[in-house]
Amino acid sequence: MSSSKQATKPGIPNHVGIVMDGNGRWAKSQGKVRLEGHKKGADVARQVVRWAQKLGIRHISLYAFSTENWDRPKLEVRALMGLLAMMLPKTLPEMKENGVRFRVLGDISPLPAKARKAVEQACAETCDNSAIDLILCLNYGGQQEIVAGVQQTVKWLESQSDSEKALAELTPETFRSMLWRHDMAPVDLLIRTGGECRISNFHLWDAAYAELYFSDLFWPDFTENDLQIAVEDYAARERRFGKTSEQVCR
Q: Where are the domains of the chain?
A: 15-140+185-236, 142-180
Strand partners of residue 19: 63, 192
Report the relative pairing of strands 189-192 and 15-19 from DSSP bridges: parallel
Kindly name the residue from 14, 23, 69, 216 that is annotated as catalytic.
69
Strand partners of residue 192: 19, 214
First and final CA of the chain: distance in angstroms? Answer: 26
Class of domain 15-140+185-236: alpha beta
Q: Are 61 and 187 spatial neighbours (Cβ–Cβ below 8 Å)?
A: yes
Kindly name the residue from 14, 21, 133, 201 that is annotated as catalytic.
21
For residue 245, what pLDDT is reported? 63
Which helix (H) or strand (E) segment is 116 a member of? helix 113-125
The pTM (predicted TM-score) of the whole model is 0.91
Is 69 catalytic? The answer is yes
Tens of pLDDT along the chain (250 residues) come to: 344 445 566 689 999 999 999 999 999 999 999 999 999 999 999 999 999 999 999 999 999 999 999 999 999 999 999 999 999 999 999 999 999 999 999 999 999 999 999 999 999 999 999 999 999 999 999 999 999 999 999 999 999 999 999 999 999 999 999 999 999 999 999 999 999 999 999 999 999 999 999 999 999 999 999 999 999 999 999 766 566 666 556 5
**CA geometry: angle at 57 spanning 145 and 119, to 5°?**
50
Q: Are 238 and 248 spatial neighbours (Cβ–Cβ below 8 Å)?
A: yes
Q: Are 141 and 68 spatial neighbours (Cβ–Cβ below 8 Å)?
A: yes
CA 30, 35, 40, 41 dihedral sign is: positive
